[in-house]
Amino acid sequence: MKKIFLLLIPVIFIIISCGSPNEPEVIKDGNNGYVIVSKFVTSGYAQDVIKKDSLLFVAQGEGGLVIINIKDPLKPKLVSEVISSLRGYSYKVANKDSVVFIAAGNFGVSAVDISDPYNPVVTVNNLPMKPARNLFVKGDYLFTAVSELGFNIADISFPTSPDVRTTTFTPGYAQSLVTTDDDNYLLVACGELGFAMMDISDFQDGFGYYPVAGWLDTPGYAVDVITHPTKQVAFLACGTGGLVIIDYADTLNLKILGSFNTGGYAKELAYKDNKIFVTTETRGLQIIDVSDLSKPKRIATVSTKYAIGVYVEDQYVYVADQQEGIVVVKMP
């Protein structure tokens, strides 16, 4: 019996020292001067956030839309909510003039008149742009990523009444999209099929034919895409594949310039001053220095419970956290 006990000791020690097989890698970077200064608990699950003037507009899942006064970032205040009059699950939010558009999955796109933020009015629900995953506004046009169906275009010359136009298939499942500065291409995050460029140079008011101009496989599952302000470079959030940086100058020779393993699940991106701000769900908000595009480097991590959406301005970063609501982070 004594021999059996002695044999068990090293086995027990080995099991204890291994820890949990699913235990996440510890992120050692500090916040490097990025400090949480306030939080606002939303009534729903905060998914996305944008800012217009002194107001935040937050898509909050089954909770619809919440409007928050952020004039004093240290003391965010509730302005109003739109819940019962919105259909579906509010995933993403975009804005043109005094109208906010909401991507609501299988319930398409909704438009909310926010000219009086204390009394917002839903002007249209369930627009046939489904399943709506993400939105991008360019001039008088709204581009909607609609997963396996590619992307839709709507004329929003009259924002309260979008006029839905053509639907174009893309490789994979379109999750997010953005136009290039010259308006010749639409860049698409295509889920497991990575990155695609669609030629929209012959736009024809949203009724044109938009072929694939380039495609590149990426690691992970591409869920968000944004562009560099001065270079022909795209940044992709690729879920477990982290941050991926793509040179799209030559549509026939798209190439990955660099990448960074964020850990967690890279979800949404924002760019400012050679830095990428990326939400990573349970790994919080991470700030990546991309001054050298081939060697991105994490310079700070701000811990939140479940970071999904992000909006960046001059001094503050606003994080839509599914569990905590809105987290306000002051830059150094």
pLDDT for 26 equals 40
Please write down the long-range contacts of 287-293, taking CB distance under 8 Å and 24 or more positions apart.
287/32, 287/34, 288/243, 288/260, 288/262, 290/235, 290/245, 290/258, 292/258, 293/231, 293/233, 293/245, 293/257, 293/258
pLDDT for 27 equals 43
Which structural domains are found in the chain, ordered by start?
39-169 (2.130.10.10), 171-331 (2.130.10.10)
- What distances in angstroms separate CA 167 from CA 97, 149, 150, 154, one per listed residue? 25, 7, 7, 10
Structure token pair of residue 37: 């200064």
pLDDT for 13 equals 34
Cβ-based neighbour number of residue 72 at 10 Å: 10
pLDDT in tens, the chain (332 residues): 433 333 333 433 333 333 322 233 344 457 899 999 999 999 999 999 999 999 999 999 999 999 999 999 999 999 999 999 999 999 999 999 999 999 999 999 999 999 999 999 999 999 999 999 999 999 999 999 999 999 999 999 999 999 999 999 999 999 999 999 999 999 999 999 999 999 999 999 999 999 999 999 999 999 999 999 999 999 999 999 999 999 999 999 999 999 999 999 999 999 999 999 999 999 999 999 999 999 999 999 999 999 999 999 999 999 999 999 999 999 99
Q: What is the C-alpha separation between 153 and 164, in angstroms, rounded? A: 6
Q: What is the C-alpha separation between 129 and 240, in angstroms, rounded? A: 28
Structure token pair of residue 145: 């990523």
pLDDT for 54 equals 97
- 260 — phi, psi (to 5°)? -145, 130
Structure token pair of residue 264: 């967690």
